Structure 1
Amino acid sequence: MSEQSSTTPNRQRTEHDDHSRYDIIGDVHGCANTLVKLLLQMGYAKDDQGYYHPSRKTLFVGDIVDRGPRVREALHIVRDMCESGQAECVLGNHEFYAIAYFTLLNDGGNLRYLRPHTAHHDRLIAETLEQFEDHAQDWESMLTWFRTLPLFIEKPKVRVVHACWDAPLIAEFHDQNHTAVVDDAFIRASENPKSFEAAVLGRLTRGTSMHLPPGVVIVGRDGVERSLFRTRFWSQNPKTYADVVFQPDPLPEYLVNTPLSDAERARLVHYNAHEKPVFIGHYWLQGTPKTLRSNVACLDYSAVKYGKLVAYRFDGEQQLDDRKFCWVSVDKAESTH
C-alpha cells in the first residue's frame, strides 16, 4: 500500500475491542509533519485528546526523539495518543540515551552522568535540547514519560520491540521484574557493561552486533568509526558475515564472505519461523518497504534522512503481507521551521 489517501473515520471514539488491529509505525525522529500526514492517510482524526482511529490502535517502535526538526511536536503527538489510550510506544535507544544523558551517578562523591557528555553524545541530542531550550518543564515531563515506556510490547498475535526480540533474555527479564518497564535502579545498574541490565537494554534497544577482526574499522555515514557491525536476529542457518550483516554502512568487500566461527554462531540470537510476527525499527533501511521474513518486519526507512515514515496495518495475520505497508515520503518541507 503506497501513498494513497484513506477514508476519513467517524469522529466518535470507540473502545478497541479487537485486539489484533494495529497500525505499527516506525522511527519518527522528530518528523512531526510527516507523522500527521501518515496518520491522516490511514484514516485517523483529531480531537482535544489527540489523534485517534475509531477501530484501530497505534503501536510505535520508539525513537520519536532526536535528529529531526520537530521533536517536541512529535513527542506531544505520540504521548497524547498514548495517554488517551489510542497508542502504545516502546522505548527506543534514543529515548534511553536521553534518560541516561540526564541520569547522575554518585561515584564516591564524584557526580557524573550515566551517558557521558562527549562530543558525539552531545551531537546526537543537540536538536532535541535546542527545541526544548525555552520549554524546560516540558522537557522534564518528557523525560519522566520516557521512563514509563516499556522495552517491549507483546500482544496475543504480535510483538513490538525497538531493535531485537531475544526471547530467552526477555523471559528472564520478565520473570525478575513482572513488567516490561525498567526502573531507576535497573537503569543505573546498566552502567556496568557486563551486567544483566546492560545486556537487556543493549540487546532490546540497540540490537545484536559482532566484532570485526582486530584492527578493522568501519567509518559510518555519520563519520563515526566502529569496530562492530549490526547483525540480524532472524537469520536461518547463517554461515558467513554476509548472512548476518544488517546495517546501512557496508562491510569491506573482502570481509563479506568471511565464514562465521562456531563461537560467533553460538552468540547469535535466533527468531524462529513459528513465532508470532515481530516489528522493529532502528536499522535505517531504504527502498520500498517489505518484510524481512514472513514474521519479521522493520519499519525504520530513514524518515529523518528524507526517506519514508512507514507503517504496517496489522490485522492479526501470522504471515505478513508486503501489501499492508503504507508510508509517506519525507520531503524538504519537513525541515522548514
Structure 2
Amino acid sequence: MSYPFDLIELAHLVKQWGRELGFQQVGICDTDLSAHEGALQTWLDQQYHGDMDWMSRHGMLRARPQELLPGTLRVISVRMNYLPAKAAFASTLKNPRLGYVSRYALGRDYHKVLRQRLKQLGNKIQDWCQDVNFRPFVDSAPIMERQLAAKAGIGWVGKHSLILNREAGSWFFLGELLINLPLPVDVAQPEQCGRCVACITTCPTGAIVAPYTVDARRCISYLTIELAGEIPEALRPLIGNRIYGCDDCQLICPWNRFAQLTDENDFSPRAELHAPQLITLFSWSEEQFLRATEGSAIRRIGHFRWLRNIAVALGNAPYEDDIVLSLQTRLGESLLLDIHIEWALAQQQNHRQALAVNVQSAQQQRLVRSIEKGLLRDA
C-alpha cells in the first residue's frame, strides 16, 4: 500500500514530537510477540499472577496487541523519567518509624500524565497524515509493554523483569501508542545484565524466583497494592516499613548509577507521602486519606488496605507505647484490618520482651565489668 507521505520522515517527526511532549525516548516496533507467548503461558500456569485474575482471563491477548485495536501495524513505545531529586531512599528505608512509598507513586498518577501526552502525540500524527487510527495505553490494558519496549529499542528486560536502559537505568514509566501505519521499526538493544544477580539476591521476599521471572505472590509491590485480602503472615516481617510498593531491585541495580532525574513537576513528591511518620499515617481518617491521595496512584487501593499495610509496618517497628496505643485505637473498624493489627500488637509485644532481655543483659554485663574492676583493685 502506498501513502501520500514519507513514512521515514513521519517516524522522525514522531520521535521529535514525543520529545517535545516530555518523553525521554520514543521507539517503534511491530506487533509480533509470538516468541513470548510460551513464557507467558508458563508464568500463568505456575499461578505467579496470584489474585490478579485479569492476567489469566485475558490470556494470550497480552501478546497480541493487534487484537486490542484491529488494523494495528506498529506500536510506538515511550519512556518518561520519574525519579525525583532528593528521593531519600536510604534515610526512609533505614528508619523503621517512617513509611516507605515506592518512588513512582510519590507524585501525580502516572497513568493520567502519560496517557494525556500519548493522546496528544496521536493527535499530532493524525493532523499530519489525516486518516489514521490510534489508541494509547499506559499500564491499563492487557499488553506486554516491557516486551514491546525492548523490541522498540527502549532498553532490555532485566532479570527483575523491568526494562533497563544503559543511559537511564530503570526509573522511568512506559506507555504505548497503537497505530495502523507501517512506520519503520527500531532495533532492539542487546541484553546487558551479564552475570549480575544483584536484584535476585536483594529481593526481601525472594520474589524473583529465576532470572526474568517474578512470583507476584511474594512481591511486596503485589502484596501492598494488588492483593485485596490478608498479607501472608510469613511475609509480613519481610515487608519492613514498605507501605506501598518496593524499589529494592532497582536500588541495587548497577545500571541505575546512570539514572536520570525527572523534570516533570507532576512527579515531585507530595510532602505527606515523602518519608512520613507511620503513626501519623495510621491516624488518617478516610477523608484525610482521600484528600492526601487525590490524583495519586495510591488512592485506588482504598483506605483500609492502606491502613492494613501501615499496620504491618508498625508491627515491624521497634517497640513504642505510642505505637501500641495507635494500633489499639483502630481495632473494630474492619475484620481485614483487625487481623493485621492483632498481628502487629503481638509483634510489638515480642519487641518489648526482646528489648527487656537486651536491657537486662546490658545491666548484667556492666555489673560483671564493675565486679572485675573491683577485684583488680583489691589485687
Q: Same fold (TM over 0.5)?
A: no
Q: TM-score range by the shorter chain?
A: under 0.3
| Higher Cα radius of gyration | 2
User: Which is helix-richer, 1 or 2?
Assistant: 2
User: Which is strand-richer, 1 or 2?
Assistant: 1
Q: TM-score with structure 2 length normalisation?
A: 0.22
